[in-house]
Chain A
């Protein structure tokens, strides 16, 4: 694997392989010494043009557990905020000998531009680009679902027959996009639920069902997984929905809806959560919730990705 830019171009075999390697990486975390020498002497740069403490430290932990040298490059307070172009930044990192660049950028497609530009030789991992994709989030979500459903027998399995409902701001969500492609590639069926204003036009080409009614999606669909997306307050001001009270009432996972979920079904959230808005405190803290597992699994999945990109892990 040369780069990880999106989940859309991953095959089922690729995806299962990444998840299986992530299982191996998760085993490392249970050892007394939580560290592998695999990437010793390699340099991973976390190039973050947007604030994101969670994703950045997750990648940092992953790289360090593989013994890579990690450089954190935050656009704020750097030459980037003084007008340096992506090209010059990339060439600077190239000159410093970066082997892998984990990039988060507010512009959709920026990681792909970086990968195709010839400005830099390093392997590129998309850590979230604009409203396009966030592939490692989808991989850790798939990993989390697979572990919850199959436990220790998860290796080698896909998500055939699993039904997933994703609720929230689909229009602006890179997490939703990456999950739609990856989960369906793995065999899951995906239903998207949102107010009509928060769907992109032309959804007919997506391999997912579209619903506006969360209650019906829960009661009729009997989903195995309900994934709630963070809703951003500024969407209200752009007239996507009237106010947070109405949003929470119609599209929030409140206590009543949580109580009606099928036994054994799980509740996911990529974080950070708006408790009381898209998800109730009880839902977030219940035994169904995988929020903390998602964080832990994120490190394992990112270790797997960095390993495949940088350790000459062969073709995926």
Chain B
């Protein structure tokens, strides 16, 4: 199948042009109308949107160490199902991705699986312990060519370590992606602090614990002239701090998760652990501020924070449950529901926040390219008019801890192409042997 050429017939682009696209040799070779289909497998894209392959700057693939939750293979299958062609794999594995050896292993596993380009994120500190810098330069110059560094799951709370990390990665154009959570203000916390946490008797995670770290970090980034990225912004106050920082010219980018654009803390009233996530679901006014921040560019990108867990980690009482939700398979639909169907973002904006800009922040030039002749053939075909009850069949990774099960979501990924090869066709993830970049299939 890999040697095949594809002709995508009559797809609508984000700028509303309707075109044919011919894919060959891993690239888009022709874009236009009436493109010759000879020798190519034709895909009828009538009614479908063609977008550049999505790029997720915040994915937990769990391998090595937590293969019962997810592997690079299963996580990238989930990515393909959701229209992603590149994912940045967070460092909180076991062993932690804090050495060149681990990041090279993760990168190689992604290459072998073939469903998406896997770019490892390196840990900022050894063992995510927040004490000593990891070998950032070794990871940057490894085959994995790491450019994004994060202790995600933990905040780099020591201001001196954060300052040094911000400075150090300037040597190789890296960026520190901060999990903004003041640890002392959030001890034992597992939901948004507000009226509902008081009523439910759950220790609250106050917005100020996020906002104060973001405020500190943008000032540090300004002081040392470094690039800062803020993970999973979740509060209205954080949007205000970022807006101020950007107006001041500070080199900061920020992400919001799909779930923080759609879901609110009210869902926790029944103690359903599927809604336990860090940072926590917030109030409706936060959701609206995050949408507005994404629309006006204060928030640069949408990133999933795809966090798979085994069933037993959610099938339990609230306190015992793990934090996190899977998100790769549902992200585009959730973004459509939250900000496209509400008229706040165009599809061109979606391309910007889910493909172009995340690729740029992660310095991944092979992705996020405009769908034009000569570009890498990373693209997704979406049926935006579809509507479905999201179910287990929509999930393709190991984790089933999705907050959207039984919820009706708009849009559906019809096909995904990674470097010219299909990973999803007719909405179904292709079998591993058809996608694997291993030995070429016998007999054409």
Contact = CB atoms under 8 A, between A and B. Distances in A.
B270 A112 contact: yes
B271 interface: yes
Contact of A109 (B196, B271, B312, B315): B271
Given A132-B201, A133-B201, A174-B201, A109 B194 contact: no
Interface in A187-224: 200-206
A106 interface: yes
Nearest to B319: A107
Contacts of B195: 201-205
B385 interface: no
A109 B193 contact: no
A267 to B, nearest CB: 26
Instruction: Give me the 6 closest cross-chain CB pairs, A-B, nearest first.
Output: A200-B198, A109-B271, A202-B195, A132-B201, A107-B319, A131-B201
B315 A87 contact: yes
Contacts of A108: 200-202, 271, 318-319
A105 B319 CA distance: 10
A107 B198 contact: no
Interface of B: 193-204, 206, 270-271, 273, 312, 315-320
A270 interface: no
A87 B193 CA distance: 28
B316 A87 contact: yes
A177 B201 contact: yes
B317 A203 contact: no
A172 to B, nearest CB: 8
A110 B204 CA distance: 17
Nearest to B315: A87
A238 to B, nearest CB: 9
Given A85-B320, A108-B271, 4 more contacts: A86-B320, A87-B312, A132-B200, A201-B198
Nearest to B194: A202
Given A112-B271, A133-B201, A201-B204, A107 B193 contact: no
B317 A109 contact: yes
A130 interface: yes
A129 interface: yes
Interface in A103-124: 105-110, 112-113, 116-117
B276 to A, nearest CB: 11
A203 B198 contact: yes
Contacts of A86: 316-317, 320
A206 B118 CA distance: 49
A205 B312 contact: no
A116 B269 CA distance: 13
A201 B201 contact: no
Nearest to B197: A200
Contact of A202 (B198, B201, B315): B198
Contact of A110 (B193, B198, B315, B317): B317
B207 to A, nearest CB: 10
A113 B316 CA distance: 7
A174 B199 CA distance: 10
A164 to B, nearest CB: 19
B201 A129 contact: yes
B204 A113 contact: no
A206 to B, nearest CB: 8
A280 to B, nearest CB: 29
Nearest to A109: B271
Nearest to A132: B201
B317 A201 contact: no
A201 B196 CA distance: 9
A87 B316 CA distance: 7
B200, B204, B273 — which one has the most chain A CB atoms within 10 A of its CB? B200
A132 B193 CA distance: 14
Nearest to B195: A202
Nearest to A105: B317
Contacts of A106: 319
Interface centre among B194, B198, B201, B273 (most CB of A within 10 A): B201
B263 to A, nearest CB: 18
A208 to B, nearest CB: 12
Most buried by A among B193, B273, B315, B318: B318
A107 B312 contact: no
Contacts of B199: 8, 177, 200, 205-206
A107 B318 contact: yes
